């Protein structure tokens, strides 16, 4: 596309159509999305393997030394990710230099809109992939599932809170640290249960093991306005565990 445009530049002075034709294809979104979403994992694998296999590390060094631009592995693999902001800046500059009424102006505007929309969709897919990965990582820490299917569940946020227990006089009788995980359909209360075993550290990183205390659908949670912040209030009575009610205090 670009070679053809360059060969006809003196006669046509058109380049916008080449950008539109290249980046309006549906496969561009899928290919770039997969690449960007797997970028971090790919870099971690390359880092691990270069430490584990000296031959692989030597191969990367030789390729960097012999390359004309002397870019290392990271510099090469990050290039596709950098292209979108670079192309957007290029099109913005071209539009500044292209006068109104020029034959290429509308195509350049369409190309810029196409690339900006594509970049926005890629960012959204990246955000969704990170939320799904965060949810799966938490489930590995907890070591349990939230029902038969976890497809579509994402971790939106997590917060440290204190569970307060009150007596009938309204006095705090006990306080315990808890962590609340807000999913797209559930609220999960967990508590730290010590450092992970060596097997867990190898599979899930050096993260604290979590134990699930309770899990409820977001529609089952009652949010109560109060003066306290970051607390999980639990009302207790003198009749054992009956009549207890959990509520999130804002």
Q: What is the pLDDT of residues 149-173, one digit of tens each?
A: 667 788 888 888 888 888 888 788 8
Predicted confidence (pLDDT) at residue 236 exceeds the cutoff of 70:
no
Under the banding of pLDDT at 50, 70 and 90, the label for residue 147 is: low
Residue with tokens 């990367």: 60
Strands laid side by side in the 245-249 sheet: 210-217, 186-192, 172-183, 155-166, 231-235, 245-249, 223-224
What's the pTM value of the predicted model, to 2 decimals? Answer: 0.62
Give the residue among 31, 38, 33 at the shortest CA–CA distance from 133: 38
More confident residue, 112 or 156: 112
Average pLDDT estimate for 24-40: 89
pLDDT bin (cut points 50, 70, 90) of residue 177 is confident
pLDDT at 185 over 70: yes
pLDDT higher for 232 or 239?
232
């Amino acid at each position: 596309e670009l070679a053809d445009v360059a060969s006809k530049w003196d006669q046509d002075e058109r380049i916008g159509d080449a950008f539109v034709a290249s980046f309006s294809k549906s496969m561009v979104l899928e290919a770039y999305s997969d690449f960007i979403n797997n970028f971090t994992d790919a870099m971690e694998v390359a880092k691990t393997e270069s430490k584990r296999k000296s031959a692989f590390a030597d191969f990367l060094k030789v390729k960097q030394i012999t390359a004309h631009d002397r870019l290392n592995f990271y510099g090469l693999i990050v290039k596709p990710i950098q292209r979108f902001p670079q192309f957007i800046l290029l099109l913005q500059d071209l539009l500044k230099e292209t006068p109104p009424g020029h034959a290429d102006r509308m195509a350049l505007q369409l190309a810029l809109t196409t690339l900006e929309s594509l970049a926005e969709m890629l960012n959204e897919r990246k955000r969704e992939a990170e939320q799904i990965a965060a949810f799966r990582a938490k489930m590995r820490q907890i070591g349990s599932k939230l029902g038969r299917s976890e497809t579509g569940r994402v971790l939106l946020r997590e917060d440290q809170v204190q569970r307060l227990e009150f007596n009938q006089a309204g006095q705090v009788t006990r306080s315990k640290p808890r962590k609340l995980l807000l999913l797209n359909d559930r609220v999960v209360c967990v508590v730290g249960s010590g450092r992970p075993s060596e097997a867990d550290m190898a599979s899930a990183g050096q993260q604290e093991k979590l134990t699930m205390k309770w899990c409820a659908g977001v529609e089952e949670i009652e949010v109560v306005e109060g003066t306290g912040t970051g607390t999980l209030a639990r009302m207790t009575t003198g009749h054992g565990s009956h009549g207890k009610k959990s509520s999130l205090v804002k």
